[in-house]
Amino acid sequence: MEPGPDGPAAPGPAAIREGWFRETCSLWPGQALSLQVEQLLHHQRSRYQDILVFRRPVTSLGPLPALHPVSLRWGPAFRAVLFGGEGAGVCADPTRSAPRVSPGHVRAGTPSPTPAPSQRACLPILATCHLQYSPLEPLGSKSYGNVLVLDGVIQCTERDEFSYQEMIANLPLCSHPNPRKVLIIGGGDGGVLREVVKHSSLESVVQCEIDEDVIQVSKKFLPGMAIGYSSSKLTLHVGDGFEFMKQNQDAFDVIITDSSDPMGPAESLFKESYYQLMKTALKEDGILCCQGECQWLHLDLIKEMRQFCKSLFPVVDYAYCTIPTYPSGQIGFMLCSKNPNTNFREPVQQLTQKQVEQMQLKYYNSAVHQAAFVLPEFARKALNDVS
């Protein structure tokens, strides 16, 4: 039985099946997420979307009272899930259908003829709601801490977020001789900002995040990442990064785009027109670094991006890092420079061990910087063939 608008929760919503919530997606073929639900606390269909509230089983992280049950602001477009549990891993549902939850766990699997490594995980659910731009899903996990999910895809976990955040920030910043003015597009969880403000040369940083809900949820559930929002060097612009860059040309030493994957609102951030816009917003010797997808899953897309980047910039390179909770365990970075003398593979700012410790880096150092550009042969050959 479906509840009416603002009506009472229907007993046992269709999304809950035998203790499991299930999400599937063709974007990561062969990979899946399972989430166990301990107790259904609330189910309501508001004027815009379906709301589910669940209680998570107690984990070794101890009580997290802020995660029991949570109310998030509604928007007209998407649903969000708030949950926690024993691990992490998720697939997006491109149809954005209602979440399928079984009592106790959310479970995802992608039936697909495309061969790919299969991954599974379990996390108990706390709540779901819809947000204006992306479904937000902060998770509390025994193994991975809190986990943020947008549009059904994991964006970060407290256990391993540092590898991605440190690399997407420090690869470009340490490749620029004097990065004083930085622009961040996206990155609402605050991780990139946290790393950027560690650099002593920084005078100012502007962050453009279109979805304020991501920022607020991250401040509440990912305080270790969102700490950078307290920096006096930050100017936060909640709005469209495209429009902001059109109004700010020849303005930044470094632009970092921390986007979600190329579907829905983020799809345009992987197009040539976006890179052209970043080029005009960069200073004469400016550098950009963008989330560059996974060489195991999206090599054709990476080749396409590299090709149009080479038509725009004199120096283009591709690097990657390992991160357990991203599809296939790694993620890449597309780096471009307007300065023809830039060599991304040899950082102009070599960090000493003392600097690494002072910056509290857990993944990045100068040796890792150099190693990040050493690709497996299949990827090296494919990308070197790009003219």
| Active site (catalytic) residues | 258
CB 359 within 8 A of CB 198: yes
Tell me the residue type at 234: L
Output the CA–CA distances (angstroms, integers) from residue 377 to 142, 335, 387, in the order listed.
36, 20, 18
- From 75, 83, 91, select the one nearest 213 (Cα to Cα): 75
Locus of tokens 């691990």: 87
| DSSP-assigned beta bridge partners for residue 235 | 206
Cα-Cα-Cα-Cα dihedral sign, residues 239, 240, 241, 245: negative
- Rg value, the chain, Cα: 21
User: Tell me, what DSSP letter sits at residue 195?
Assistant: H
Backbone region of residue 188 per phi and psi (left: phi > 0; alpha: psi in -120 to 50; beta: other values): alpha
State the maximum Cα–Cα separation within the chain, in Å, rounded to a whole number.
Answer: 66
Output the CA–CA distances (angstroms, integers) from residue 372 to 89, 90, 345, 355, in the order listed.
24, 25, 8, 20
CB 155 within 8 A of CB 225: no
User: Tell me, what DSSP letter sits at residue 197?
Assistant: T
CB 232 within 8 A of CB 158: no
Return all residues near 59 (Cβ < 8 A) that are at least 6 apart. 84, 85, 86, 140, 141, 142
Q: Which two tokens stand for residue 19?
A: 């203790």
User: Tell me, what DSSP letter sits at residue 170?
Assistant: H
| Crossing angle (nearest 10°) for helices 377-384 and 299-312 | 40
CB 42 within 8 A of CB 53: yes
CB 208 within 8 A of CB 244: yes
